């Protein structure tokens, strides 16, 4: 079974802190994604990566950055956390390469981040 | 642009009732369509998919038919169970794009 794990299920941080959310997948997938999930808005793509050290902005990248130093690991970084970044963050991975982003995405359980 | 619209929830049903969750889409081209399900405390998982018009996706008793003429992909199940309580997301994917586009999700609550 594909497994996508996220470093924390719940996280509470203070405004202005730098926050790291980690995601690891064990199926050698090329593609990895970070979404945020908010009530009534569904899932919105923050960043994705189709290879090690490669990244592209999604729909809402402002206030976030990412890092992919190893194929299995994709980190989301909140440079200076703000209260409007309080949300559920979901990581996903999928097989296949750049030319055909895998649509069958496998999701982690999510990290519920609260910024106070 | 491409988008997905789902019926607002929550949808509350009794066990063994018939379920329909409506989903319509707007797309320039021919998308692939999906239903994902999110059980409480978990991430999303793919429930079913259809990649071209008139295809029917099915899994775990759920079905959805890709209707190009009405740009719809409604989710149905003949007899729901308490264990089907979850949030259901309709999504589309274009070959020319890099991302899934999700609807806002519909929460289903099934009572015994």
A100: pLDDT strictly greater than 80: no
CA distance B62 to chain A (A): 18
What is the C-alpha separation between B100 and B112, in angstroms, rounded? 34
What is the C-alpha separation between A111 and B66, in angstroms, rounded? 33
Contact B49 A107 (CB under 8 A): no
What is the C-alpha separation between A37 and A48, in angstroms, rounded? 15
Average pLDDT over residues A82-96: 93
Closest residue by Cα to residue B74 from B22, B112, B15: B22
| The pair of three-digit structure tokens given for residue A7, joined into one six-digit string | 């470093």
Query: How large a percentage of chain A has pLDDT more than 90?
Result: 72
Contact B44 A92 (CB under 8 A): yes
pLDDT score, position A97: 54
- A31-54 per-position pLDDT tens digit: 899 999 998 888 999 999 988 988
Contact B102 A43 (CB under 8 A): yes
Contacts for B70 with CB less than 8 Å, ≥ 6 apart: B24
B40–chain A Cβ distance below 8 A for any pair: no
pLDDT score, position A99: 47
Cα torsion angle, A107, A109, A113, B3, sign: positive
Closest residue by Cα to residue B50 from B25, B80, B18: B25
- B31-87 per-position pLDDT tens digit: 999 999 999 888 899 999 998 899 999 999 999 999 999 999 999 999 999 999 999
* CA torsion, ordered B7, B59, A99, B38, to nearest 10 deg: 50
Render B1-67 in DSSP notation, one character per residue: --EEEE--S-EEEETT--EEE-EEEE-SS--EEEEEEE-TTS-EEEEEEE-STT-EEEETTEEEE-B
Average pLDDT over residues B92-96: 80
B35 beta partners: B48, B90
Cα torsion angle, A13, A107, A36, B96, sign: positive
CA distance B21 to chain A (A): 15
Helix (H) or strand (E) holding A76: strand A73-78
Helix (H) or strand (E) holding A84: none
B28: pLDDT strictly greater than 80: yes
Higher pLDDT, B28 or B109: B109
Look at strands B86-93 and B100-102 and give their pairing.
antiparallel
B93–chain A Cβ distance below 8 A for any pair: yes
């Amino acid at each position: 079974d594909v497994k996508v794990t996220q470093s924390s299920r719940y996280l509470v941080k203070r405004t202005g802190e730098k926050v790291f959310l980690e995601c690891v997948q064990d199926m050698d997938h090329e593609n990895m994604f970070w979404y945020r999930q908010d009530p009534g808005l569904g899932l919105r793509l923050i960043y994705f990566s189709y290879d090690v050290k490669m990244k592209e902005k999604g729909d809402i990248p402002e206030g976030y950055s990412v890092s992919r130093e190893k194929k299995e690991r994709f980190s989301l970084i909140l440079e200076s956390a703000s209260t409007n970044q309080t949300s559920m963050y979901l990581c996903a991975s999928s097989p296949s390469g750049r030319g055909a982003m895998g649509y069958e995405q496998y999701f982690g359980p999510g990290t519920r981040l609260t910024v106070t | 642009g491409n988008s997905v619209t789902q019926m607002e929830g929550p949808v509350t049903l009794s066990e063994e009732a018939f379920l329909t969750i409506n989903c319509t889409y707007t797309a320039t081209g021919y998308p692939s369509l999906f239903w994902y399900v999110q059980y409480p405390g978990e991430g999303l998982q793919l429930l079913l998919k259809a990649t071209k018009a008139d295809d029917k996706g099915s899994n775990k008793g759920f079905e959805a038919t890709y209707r190009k003429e009405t740009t719809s992909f409604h989710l149905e199940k003949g007899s729901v169970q308490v264990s089907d309580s979850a949030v259901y997301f309709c999504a589309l994917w274009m070959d020319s794009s890099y991302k899934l586009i999700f609807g806002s999700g519909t929460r289903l609550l099934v009572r015994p």
